Amino acid sequence: MIEYKKSESRIETTEKRPSKDTRFKKGNNANPKGRPVGSGIQGQLRKQLEAASPEIIVKLIENAKAGDSMAMRVIIDRILPAHKSQLPTVDIDIPDGSPLDRANAVLGAAIRGEISPDQAQAIISIQSDIAKLRESEELEKRLVALEQKAAIYV
């Protein structure tokens, strides 16, 4: 409840707080079970769709057989989803050395036609990720060593 007090220059408000006896206690949830799963509009729609799905599928097949191109597309997209490209396994020599040396070796293999440009890009990307992981591991080791040295002086 809010009370308003008028003064000559402005209106002051004071808010009354509920007593501590009527406030929620810490750790006390007013609704421990929460909202039941599937009780919202999406849950209701899913239940209705699930009940009607056999009829919908039969009608979709009938429409596709009758020449409805959209029905055909829906069926084909569900039966034969879009193909994800998969790169074949390759065997190339990558010398030991710096990340730049290894990337140049992969690039050279792509230029000579031993691997495709997509394969080269994937291999170089993986090498780059590994180099970043090594770098972060080395930084972590250096940080731990510095913290241990600092602990000696404290």
Tracing tokens 């569900």 back to the chain, one arrives at: 78
State the greatest distance between any 2 C-alpha atoms of the chain, in Å, as a whole number.
90
DSSP assignment of 31-65, as one string? -TT-SPTT-SHHHHHHHHHHHHHHHHHHHHHHHHH
pLDDT (tens digit per residue) in 66-98: 999 999 999 888 888 777 767 778 888 888 888
104 close to 133: Cβ distance less than 8 angstroms: no
Instruction: Give the model confidence (pLDDT) of 121-135 as tens digits.
Output: 999 999 999 999 999
* Mean pLDDT of the region 18-38: 72
Report residue 122 as tokens. 């994937």
